[in-house]
Amino acid sequence: QKCLTVIPQISLNKALVRKSQEARNQAYCPYSKFRVGAAVLASNGTVFTGCNVENACYTAGLCAERTAISKAVSEGHTSFKAIAIASDLEDRFISPCGACRQFMREFGSQWDVYLSKSDGSYKLMTVEELLPCSFGPEDPRTGENTVGNSKL
């Protein structure tokens, strides 16, 4: 498939950022004009890319990070090593929104996140650093409500 690529370990970080920049070029953003691309590296070395897809009903839009991860999951991949995110920002590193941080957290807290600028420079963080004290798949308890006084 066109979206699948295997990146050699050498210069993995730069190659992943480059893939996210390429994905950014496919963004559908007629309303915000803010192009975002993402490239997620599955544990087996396969890369899945995604871009933001806006909608006239703004809340129905989808961020690049969630697009890339959803493509990977739909192909049977749920274990990730890294994700790179690119935009057209020149003066600061692009950072995932709160919803995307939680979406990434679903698949672990210890994988790498490359926040990049339009020139390809990047800042490396982990999901845990982006979403400290997070709520993950290990937190819900069957038959128990772990939040508040509810008897749910």
Strands 80-87 and 112-116: parallel
Are 19 and 5 contacting, i.e. CB atoms less than 8 angstroms apart? yes
Query: Is there a binding annotation on residue 145?
Result: no
Query: Is there a binding annotation on residue 29?
Result: no
Neighbour-count burial for 13-30, b at 16+ CB within 10 Å, e otherwise:
bbbbbbbbbebbeebebe
Query: Is there a binding annotation on residue 63?
Result: yes
Are 151 and 123 contacting, i.e. CB atoms less than 8 angstroms apart? no
Query: Is there a binding annotation on residue 149?
Result: no
Query: Is there a binding annotation on residue 133?
Result: no
Q: Is 22 annotated in the active site? A: no
Which of the residues 65, 90, 106, 129 is marked catalytic?
65
Query: Is there a binding annotation on residue 51?
Result: no
Integer Cα distance of 26 and 45 in angstroms: 23
Query: Is there a binding annotation on residue 90?
Result: no
Binding residues for substrate: 52-58
Name the binding residues for Zn(2+).
63, 97, 100
Indicate the annotated binding residues. 52-58, 63, 97, 100
Catalytic residues, by residue number, are 65
